[in-house]
Amino acid sequence: MSRRHFSSLDRLLGRIDDLDPQNLAILARRLERERDLMETVLDTLQEGVLVLSDDGTVDYANEVAVNLLGVQGESINGADLRRISPDLAAALNLPEEAESLTREIEVSYPEPRLLRLHLASVQSKSDLGKRRRVAVLSNITDQALRTEERVESERIDSIMTLAAGVAHEVGNPLNAIGIHLQILQREVEKLGEIPSAKKVREAVQVCRSEITRLDGIVREFLGAIRPTPPNLVDTDLVAVVAEAVTLLKDQMEQLGVRVQVSLPGQIPLVLADRNQVKQALFNVLKNALEAMDRGGDLFLNLASDDEWVKLTVRDTGVGIPADKLKRVFDAYFTTKESGGGIGMLILLRIMRSHGGRVEIQSTEGVGTTVTLRFPLKHRRVRTLDAPKS
């Protein structure tokens, strides 16, 4: 395969032995300009480019590669990649029988990321016998996260649709039972005040009361899981936190839970649906209180950075076992003796519809920390579609 060159330097290099000192100086300057051009071109790429010697030392790294490795640019040339990034160095071991390969790898330094790696073995015609490995690295962390969120959103969509259907079907027999209880009550009234009729009337009244209660539960459940597009307006999260805490103040006092709220001087407004955000926070606080039925401390903290407003809720409750933590967003999964296991799923749906994120950390016997991330207004380019029913 023919090779393309950026200049006619190859012709000059072919007669380098015939050049006088002045022409050699001119050639050196031209070589320097060509090198600067190549480095500038490589630095404009969105991918990281690494060139490695057989012994694992770095011969060259463009600017993106330097940033991915989390090192200083001037200190990387000649460095042993195994000392800089052991995860990446292990992934760059090209099998002898392979000329190239492509794979996805996870690295943990300077931060956890998912990279797509294309690795090839090359040998320069002018440097026979010395092979190098060239690695092209693409940071696909955000892409993978978006894919994961899309799959998760579709999963929630199907679960919510199923739940809404079940709730609707439960409502139909409840209505039929209620109608027949009314008929039964009218017939009992004809029996007068005999003792057996009185007992039947009392039983009918209990059944009708329970049907009314169940009907209310089904209606509330359907109202919670049916996705309503959020009415995004400028929202003060400080005020939302205050309202949610006030709603649960009596329950906190009964349980002996102490509340500490930490607020910085200024929190940016976020685009959010106030009622939905209050419901999301209410779900988190209710879970925290149920985990501290013998008292404890509840810490709420609001903070912001260049991308997010972060609302953190930390409790000193019983915590969640490590083997169950990854299932907290599964439909109908709960660590409590009672409860429908749908609250965290609703929380996730609300945060997704706001373009936000939910993060949970927990240690059994120590407590749980839930962080709700709301994007700043300048980041709101697109939000994930909320699940539909």
pLDDT tens by residue, 130-167: 778 888 888 888 777 777 667 766 766 676 677 667 77
**Residues 275 and 319 placed together within one structural domain of the fold:** yes
Give the type of residue at 139. N
Kindly report the pTM of this predicted structure: 0.49
* Among 140, 123, 141, CA closest to 132: 123
Mean pLDDT of the chain: 78
Residue 387 placed within a domain: no
**Residues 259 and 212 placed together within one structural domain of the fold:** no
Structural contact between residues 350 and 187, judged by C-beta atoms closer than 8 angstroms = no
In this structure, the number of other CB atoms found within 10 A of the CB of residue 64 comes to 21
**Residues 87 and 200 placed together within one structural domain of the fold:** no
Domain that residue 117 falls in: 9-142
Rounded Cα distance between 173 and 373, Å, is 41
| 92-108 tens-digit pLDDT | 776 666 677 888 888 77
Rounded Cα distance between 127 and 55, Å, is 16
Question: Prior bond to 110 cis, omega within 30?
Answer: yes
Q: What is the CATH number of the domain that holds 197?
A: 1.10.287
Rounded Cα distance between 145 and 168, Å, is 34
Q: What is the CATH number of the domain that holds 338?
A: 3.30.565.10
Q: For tokens 């050196």, name the residue.
A: 28
**Residues 122 and 195 placed together within one structural domain of the fold:** no
**Residues 259 and 309 placed together within one structural domain of the fold:** yes
**Residues 252 and 297 placed together within one structural domain of the fold:** yes
Mean pLDDT of 269-279: 90
Rounded Cα distance between 168 and 356, Å, is 30
Mean pLDDT of 116-126: 77
Give the type of residue at 349. R
136 forms beta bridges with 49, 118
**Residues 255 and 336 placed together within one structural domain of the fold:** yes
Residue 160 tokens, joined: 């919510």
Rounded Cα distance between 124 and 257, Å, is 70
Structural contact between residues 69 and 45, judged by C-beta atoms closer than 8 angstroms = no
Residue 249 placed within a domain: yes
Poorest-pLDDT segment among 319-333, 348-362, 364-378: 319-333
Q: Among positive and negative, which fits the CA dihedral 178, 182, 183, 187?
A: positive
Residue 4 placed within a domain: no
| pLDDT of amino acid 183 | 87
Residue 62 placed within a domain: yes
Residue 378 tokens, joined: 């300048």
| 20-57 tens-digit pLDDT | 777 778 777 877 887 777 778 777 888 888 888 888 88
Last residue of a domain, one of 87, 109, 142: 142
**Residues 133 and 170 placed together within one structural domain of the fold:** no
**Residues 221 and 246 placed together within one structural domain of the fold:** no
Residue 389 placed within a domain: no
In terms of DSSP H, where are the helices of 226-333? 237-247, 249-255, 274-290, 322-325
**Residues 168 and 250 placed together within one structural domain of the fold:** no
Number of domains in the chain: 3
**Residues 261 and 170 placed together within one structural domain of the fold:** no
Tell me the DSSP string of 228-251: -----EEE-HHHHHHHHHHHTHHH
Residue 164 tokens, joined: 């809404």
